[in-house]
Amino acid sequence: MTVLQISAIVLFVSCCLNATRGENEPSEDNYNYNSKLLDLERDVLRLRANQCERSQDVDELLQLAKVPLVAFRSFLQNSIDDHRIQPQKLDFDIVELNLGHAYDPISGTFTAPVNGLYMFSMKLGDAPSNQGALFLVQAVGNERQSEYIDFTFVGDNKGWTAGSTSTVTVLKAGDVVWVELEGLAAGMSKNNRFHTSFSGALIHQL
């Protein structure tokens, strides 16, 4: 039963009571009718409150629907065999997911489309006796100066090793994030397994 239907019932009962009520003191029946009328009025108020809450929920859902969907997952296809003494930007050229097209596989950079809280993950794999380190870098400020957000490294003489890390950071629209490599990095293996990857997603728009 809708709020309008209940309101109509309340109004009808109220009119009937007013029509039957005389100048004498209210009878027991009138008292019972008044009690039921108060209960109906309370039900109407509760229904109106619930409708207001639902309207607020709908507004929140509409706001969420406006948040862009941003997420990417990329991999390194070819191994980096020339030992990099200084960190250099690493281009992840295999892209399996790129919702919102914020990641550019040609430049290896992610550009934030909106202000928000973002999560990034990176993984580095290396063959035996190889060592390497990945650095997550963010360009900040009007002068686009870069600063390191996080890092991971690997290195073992006995077998394959892998290091990974995940972190969150606040970006403004237009801020750029990328990964730099120091040392060596393993790419895709013969059985199509990717050892080195870079991924990220928008968690919450600010």
pLDDT digits (tens, 9 = 90+) for 105-163: 999 999 999 999 999 999 987 766 677 878 888 887 555 567 877 877 777 666 667 78
- The domain boundary residue, chosen from 65, 87, 108: 65
Give this prediction's pTM: 0.64
CATH number for the domain harbouring residue 129:
2.60.120.40
* H or E element at residue 104: strand 103-104
- Asked if 20 and 82 sit in the same domain, the reply is no
Alpha helix (H) residue ranges in the chain: 3-20, 28-65
pLDDT, tens digit, 9 for 90 and up, residues 11-44: 555 555 555 555 455 555 555 656 766 777 777 6
Give the amino acid at 70: V
In the chain, the number of structural domains is 2
Four-residue CA torsion sign, 110, 112, 113, 118: positive
Task: Domain of residue 20: give its range.
Answer: 3-65
